[in-house]
Amino acid sequence: MPESFVAASGDGPILTTVEFSAARYTRVLFPRYAYRPGVNPHPTAGPGGHSYRSPGNVPTLVKPVAPEDWQRSTDYLYGCDLYNHAYWWEAHEAWEGLWQLVDKTAAQGWLLQGLIQVSACALKVALGNRRGAQRLLERGGRHLDAVMEQAADPRFMGLALGSFLEAVNAYYRLRLDEGAAVTHDPEAFPYIILRTEEAR
């Protein structure tokens, strides 16, 4: 799908349109815009935000799931949809709700935190904040490495961690050097591709 976002260039931030192409894991509708600080309204801070809830409007409860039941987690799958289609702030929020409910010292907590940080890294790069992006990339990598060390299988919650982390590092290595232009490559972008054990 076409997605407009602010990207860095040698002359500062510019608004550009890129193409993201990935399968959907849920049928949940996307927000009406992908939040970019300084470009559109904060999603929850005021009535203009796409996820604003008026006082007394109770949010939908997040449902925790065991790692092996990841296919039943709409929150996890919707976060993957959001990330794959450049709703990086929104993906962070979707996964954060789950992360708050799980053991943060175990593989599931590390996976969610790692994905949150990789998604935040993508947003920082799009906004031209390379230093912040580098920090988030390193932290996210450490959390995903920890999952690979602890998990019994290289595919955890449907995600092949080794190949995903390799794709993330390769993609951002070309975009975090000082002076490098931010260019989107839909063929190289590190999409989250989920598969069951039987489908490997």
| C-alpha count within 13 angstroms, C-beta hemisphere, residue 85 | 21
Q: Which fold has domain 2-51+64-199?
A: Hyaluronidase domain-like (1.10.3450)
Q: What pLDDT does 51 receive? A: 86
CA dist 184 → 1, 51, 56, 190 (Å) = 13, 27, 41, 11
Encoding tokens for residue 54?
Answer: 């008026």
Query: What are the pLDDT digits (tens) for 34-65?
Result: 999 988 898 888 888 898 877 767 567 788 89
Helix ranges (H only) for the chain are: 74-84, 88-99, 107-126, 130-150, 161-173
Helical axes 107-126 vs 130-150, angle rounded to 10°: 160
43 neighbors 50 (Cβ within 8 angstroms): yes
Query: What are the pLDDT digits (tens) for 65-112?
Result: 999 999 999 999 999 999 999 999 999 999 999 999 999 999 999 999
This prediction has a pTM of 0.86
Q: Which residues contact 177 (CB under 8 A, 6 or more apart)?
A: 130
Question: What residue spans define the domains of the chain?
Answer: 2-51+64-199
- Residue 104's CB is within 10 A of a number of other CB atoms, namely 12
Q: What pLDDT does 187 receive? A: 82
16 neighbors 185 (Cβ within 8 angstroms): no
Cross-strand pairs, 7: 14
Encoding tokens for residue 69?
Answer: 């039941």
Encoding tokens for residue 95?
Answer: 């996964």
